[in-house]
Homo-oligomer: A and B are copies of this chain.
Amino acid sequence: HGEFSSISPAEFFYRNRQMAGFGNPSQAVYSTVRELVENSIDACEEARRQPDVRVSIDEERSGIVRVTVSDNGTGVPYGEVPNAFARVLYGDKFTARQRRGTFGLGVTMAALYGQITTDSPVIVVTQTSHTIGRYYQLLIDIENNQPVILSDESHEREGPGTEVTIRLKGDLNRSRERVYDYLQLTTVASPHAHVELAINGSSIMKMGWWHQILPAPTTASKPHPHGADLELLRRLVADAGERSLHSFLVESFQRMGTRTATRFLKFLAINPRQAVNTLGRGDISRLSSALRSFDGLGRPDGKCLSPIGKNAFLASIESVFAPSALTYGSRGPTEWSGNAFIVESVAAIGTGARAADVPTLYRFANRVPLLYDSGEDALTKMLKRVNWVQYGVRSTTPVSIFLHLCSTRIPFKAAGKQSIASLPEIEHEVLSLLRELGRSLKKTLKRGERSVRDAQK
């Protein structure tokens, strides 16, 4: 037998960085930009300010790229900067509400890739509303998954927000087009945000603020009964102490009112007044199965979600793509394994996309554009399952579908957050929504053909 050992999560992602989007020098530039920009927009929404995010990419010499992203967000509390930026699986987005970030991994991955390819520390300048600015240079101790602080000093900054600089071995030429598309589509899914891109000192784009209203803030929801796997339930029970089972259910879960809880426990033949800490393992097991298969609960609480919404989504697509016709649809909130989600979509005609028998698909998850790995993605699969020809989509009509899935947890296929796993609840809603849009498109396309024929007479 070999020698047994463990590896840190930083070591795991160092060895398998292609799983996190850092497998080649072109995708590495893209992934660096997207991880930083996502963090910036999350932070600006948290600060309740319209995001003003500036990206500069400089090719220092062939194959060495410097990426800097600055924002007007909350800033990062000083004590937290080293762990936030130089430790894997550390962050403040582990709660049950929709954010772009989710793993506590993204920016540390980008810093790690920069460090192992160019020996550069990640540079962070940040300021919160209670502090003056501070400047950090950080390396990652990969074997132990902890930060190494090279610099930590005060630094002037014009106001709250953060600026992050990463220097990496990257292929700018191969990645610049996709970076541009990502930033443009970022404003489409976050119409309240503004993004600038400069490459080698030249301004490439300044766009956004298509819609002035900030999305309503999200608040974490209580767990949904369908998410009550044994680990979740065990933790809730451990915190419940001597509380009665009935009040435990009502307090711990959403959609579990007093009468529903009474009915549920009667059906399970468990005494509702029994103290939770006296439940045996068998009871907890039965409780978990029963909660997970409990039908007839209301729709999940949507206050943890932040859909783009009809007005904002139509406004941003009109501003960016100038289509000749648009239609919006949305479904939910519903849930997959207890995770609340909404799917919303805009079908647009005449956006300059290539006309084909299948519409061009733009995918979004928690307002983040997904530009890689569409092949095995659940959204792509559902698009292909629709018989678009029957709705009048032909290779003469350039139709684009902008499809946004938002959830308290996005079931990504890999840590690079580019592709959505096939889960029946999500696929069902996406497919139904696409068909709704298809029917709506059909009317518009028929009207359009009629008016073209009328014009030709």
Residues in chain A within 8 A of chain B (CB atoms)? 1-9, 11-12, 14-16, 18-19, 23-24, 46, 74, 76-77, 80, 83-84, 87, 89-95, 103-104, 115-119, 128, 142-143, 229-231, 235, 281, 284-285, 288, 373, 375-376, 409, 411-415, 419, 421-424
Q: Is the CB of A4 within 8 A of B74?
A: no
Chain B residue nearest to A2 (CB atoms) is: B92
**Identical copies in the complex:** 2
Chain B residue nearest to A5 (CB atoms) is: B94
How far apart are the CA atoms of A333 and B8 in the complex, in Å? 30
Chain B residue nearest to A43 (CB atoms) is: B1
What are 9 A-B pairs with beta-carbon distances under 8 A? A2-B92, A3-B92, A4-B83, A4-B84, A9-B9, A18-B413, A19-B421, A118-B230, A413-B414
Residues in B whose Cβ lies below 8 Å from that of A118: 230, 285
Q: Is the CB of A80 within 8 A of B411?
A: no
Q: Is the CB of A412 within 8 A of B19?
A: yes
Given A4-B91, A16-B411, A119-B284, 15 further pairs, Cβ under 8 A: A1-B74, A1-B77, A2-B93, A3-B92, A4-B77, A5-B94, A7-B89, A7-B104, A16-B412, A19-B414, A23-B421, A24-B423, A115-B231, A373-B413, A376-B376
Q: Is the CB of B8 within 8 A of A230?
A: no
Residues in B whose Cβ lies below 8 Å from that of A119: 230, 281, 284-285, 288
Q: Is the CB of A1 within 8 A of B413?
A: no
A226 CB, nearest partner CB in chain B, Å = 13
Q: Is the CB of A18 within 8 A of B90?
A: no
Q: Is the CB of B18 within 8 A of A95?
A: no
Q: Is the CB of B76 within 8 A of A1?
A: yes
How far apart are the CA atoms of A373 and B421 in the complex, in Å? 10
A162 CB, nearest partner CB in chain B, Å = 11
A412 CB, nearest partner CB in chain B, Å = 7
How far apart are the CA atoms of A2 and B104 in the complex, in Å? 13
Query: With A2-B92, A6-B89 as given contacts, are A231 and B142 in contact (CB-CB < 8 Å)?
Result: yes
Chain B residue nearest to A74 (CB atoms) is: B1
Q: Is the CB of B89 within 8 A of A12?
A: yes
A393 CB, nearest partner CB in chain B, Å = 23
Q: Is the CB of B18 within 8 A of A421?
A: yes
Q: Is the CB of B412 within 8 A of A89?
A: no
Residues in B whose Cβ lies below 8 Å from that of A103: 12, 16
